[in-house]
Structure 1
Amino acid sequence: MSKLLRFISDNRKKSIIITASCVVLCAAAVGILIHTNDKNNKTKENKVVLTDVKKEEPTSKTTEADSSKENAQTEQAAVKPESQFVEQKFTGKTTEVVNFRENPSDTETVISKLKQRTIVEVLGKQQDWYKVKYDSKEGWINSKYLNEYTADDKKADEDAEKKQQEALAAAQKSEEAKKAAATSNASQANPSTINNTQPATPAPEVKKGFKSPQLSNSSQIILVTTSSMSSSYANIKFYQKNGDDWTIKTETNGRVGSNGLAYISNRMQSTDKTPAGVLGILGAFGVSDNPGCKYSYTKVTDNMYWDLNSGSSTYNRLIYSNPGGDYEHLASYPTHYKYALITDYNVNQTANKGGGIFVHVNGSGGTAGCVSMPEAQVKDLITWVNPTKNPKILIIPISDLGKYWY
């Protein structure tokens, strides 16, 4: 028993020491484990942070790139240049009736309407508009209504005009020859028999001249003849009567309506036809000063309009304010209306018959219903006509000459 107690006592000290050693070793192991775990957790946290930063970097770069692109597009839109005017120089012709505007837009003010095949000087282009010069004025025409006026076009027009004038001259010469032959045959007719020894009484000489009652009291006639009712080319003669003799003072070529002639009784507004028949003279006007006209002469100012609104109280009259609708602004035609005579066509203001039928200076082609001729001849005409001589304007196709002329 004593041995057992002694054994236990001796081993108790060793157990305590062993136990204490185990406790220390366990504590050390636990400390090492805790330290290792903390280190691993920090490493993981660092990796996560690094990974997140790497993930954020491309996003930031992408955002900056998008922002730069948007800024570039905004700047490009801001500095996008407006349409530029490009200078171009050539002669053009209108392909149909077109508005001649103050600025290149369909909503801009219309200076005037240009007829088909009107010749203009092209100055340049901006987008779909040509800047042109016409009748001393600059304006704009939509490019889809304008083509280049080539040398071939010019030659074709000259050839056509030449043929028209030749046909007109030939027709007039033939008509005069027929009248001369008829007069000669009448004067040579001798109904005497073989047994009649008395000489035949000579037929009275027939003076050449105008025989229409409408012209009987006139001693000044402006004769305008065309080769046909559809021709826009005319031969024009100024006849003056001295005693019983009619003589030609001036002869020139001119133009009438672009669609030819229409007899006064049938003529309607906006047909581009010149009234055929006998017209009187009411007065004159012009952009230039009075050259010496014996009629009342009005100097054109910017506020002068010819009212063509059918049914208006001032229809076919000169007025001093814009009536709107259908009208002519006289100052817009400084070439045509440098000098002009006013005829008495539709002086009674019959609805839809039209008006504003003048004798004026040539433009680039046929007229809208007027008679035109070179400037020198218009000036000569305006200073020559005298209201005391009751001048008349006779406009006819050459085939009608026999109705008015002996």
Structure 2
Amino acid sequence: MSVRKGAPALLSAGALCAALLLSGCASTAPANPAAARTPASEPAAGDARPEVVRPDTAANSLASAPVSRIPGIGPATRAFVPDGTSQVLVVTGAGPDSDRSTVTLYTRDRAGRWAEEAGPWPAHNALRGWTSDHVAGDLRTPIGVFRLGDAGGRLPDPGSRLPYDQDPEFAISGTGFSGESLEGSFDHVVAIDYNRVPGRTPLDKERPLGAEKGGGVWIHVDHGGPTQACVTLEREALRALLRALDPAREPVVVMGPAPELAR
């Protein structure tokens, strides 16, 4: 049985949907993610948000001096971050065709200053790198700014403030591109709102942009190699991220290769 914790965080996004398990990014068969930098809809005015809880120091969290802009994020990319968002997960690809990236969580205080809240963490992305026009099976991770509002996994909720769906359907087996085992990859996941309907379990298969644009783009447990389209973090880093993401802060992920994000 599926156990879903919390009320759905109904965060809108231009591109929506989810591809699952053996058709998802960590499967052994080509999967379906998608891209297109789609601006998220404007949130309500006001910023009466609680302070974020810092993740475990064991998960390699660091603090930084507050700054007016998120490092590495240029004006063109910044324009797609909703004004009401005060929590941004930045996934910086090593290059357009690289399967390696770095993940850092930033939060904004009431004075409008951004600070590094957790990370940087090493990560994997898709086998062939990145794309701004993702299609199913291209083995690239979509570039863009996407909301983060739903989580789940095979294992119990580690303390997520996002709605969390514990379900045995998150179990996976098989091997990845480097011959590594995929078992446990979906023990915890955060759904990226690319071609999916927000407010639903990550297992939901509806794809508003159509199956050809992919889906099932998640942040999930690293299995030691590149993915179909997802972003992966080491287990403890992902658990810390789940505890840190706060729906009241309207979190988004900003992801792509460094030169693209700097535009």
TM-score of the superposition, structure 1-length normalised? Answer: 0.41
Alignment of 1:242-391 (within 5 A): 242-243=109-110, 244-250=112-118, 251-263=120-132, 266-301=133-168, 304=169, 330-333=170-173, 334-347=183-196, 348-391=208-251
> In the TM superposition, what is the alpha-carbon distance from 1:390 to its structure 2 partner?
0.7
* Larger Cα-atom Rg: 1
> In the TM superposition, what is the alpha-carbon distance from 1:287 to its structure 2 partner?
1.2
The code of the aligned residue for 2:151 comes to A
Listed one character per residue, the Cα deviations across residues 66-119 of structure 1 (whole Å, up to 9, x for unaligned) are xxxxxxxxxxxxxxxxxxxxxxxxxxxxxxxxxx9xxxxxxxxxxx6379xxxx
Alignment RMSD, CA only? 2.1
CA distance in structure 2 between the aligned counterparts of 1:114 and 1:217, rounded to whole angstroms: 38
Q: Is the 8 A contact 2:255 2:261 kept in 1?
A: no
Q: Is the 8 A contact 2:221 2:234 kept in 1?
A: yes
Any gaps of 5 or more consecutive residues in structure 1? 1-99, 101-111, 116-205, 305-329
> In the TM superposition, what is the alpha-carbon distance from 1:363 to its structure 2 partner?
0.9
Any gaps of 5 or more consecutive residues in structure 2? 1-21, 31-66, 174-182, 197-207
CA distance in structure 2 between the aligned counterparts of 1:368 and 1:400, rounded to whole angstroms: 20
Matched, 1:235 2:102: yes
The code of the aligned residue for 1:248 comes to E
> In the TM superposition, what is the alpha-carbon distance from 1:335 to its structure 2 partner?
1.5
CA distance in structure 2 between the aligned counterparts of 1:362 and 1:298, rounded to whole angstroms: 19
Higher helix proportion, which one? 1
Please name the residue that 2:79 is paired with: 213
Runs of 4+ in 1 over 3 A off after TM superposition: none
Q: Is the 8 A contact 2:126 2:140 kept in 1?
A: yes
The code of the aligned residue for 2:212 comes to N
CA distance in structure 2 between the aligned counterparts of 1:113 and 1:278, rounded to whole angstroms: 27
Matched residue count: 174
CA distance in structure 1 between the aligned counterparts of 2:28 and 2:69, rounded to whole angstroms: 44
> In the TM superposition, what is the alpha-carbon distance from 1:386 to its structure 2 partner?
1.0
Higher relative contact order (CA 8 A, sep 6+): 2
> In the TM superposition, what is the alpha-carbon distance from 1:364 to its structure 2 partner?
2.3
TM-score of the superposition, structure 2-length normalised? Answer: 0.62
